[in-house]
Amino acid sequence: ELEASHVLTAVGVPNDICAGSLTFSMSKYNTEDEVDRVLEITPEIVNKLCEMSPYYNK
């Protein structure tokens, strides 16, 4: 189930826009390999989220 970001909702971003957002948290301790892995798997995750979203228009 998709849930809108409570932060984006609190600042008045519409739900259809919130549903299309991704949040990444990083720190100075993340390695280059970890960042590379995120970049590798993100497209698959985005595709899955698009399939789940009632707001996504193909």
How much is the average pLDDT of 40-47? 94
Assigned token pair, 52: 């789940």
**For residue 12, what pLDDT is reported?**
95
- pLDDT at 2 > cutoff 70: no
Average pLDDT taken over every residue of the chain = 88
Q: Give the pLDDT score at 1.
A: 64
CB 16 within 8 A of CB 32: no
Burial grade of 13 (CB within 10 A; 0-12, 13-18, 19 or more): middle
Q: pTM, whole model, 2 decimals?
A: 0.63
At 26, the amino acid letter reads M
User: Does residue 6 register a pLDDT over 80?
Assistant: yes
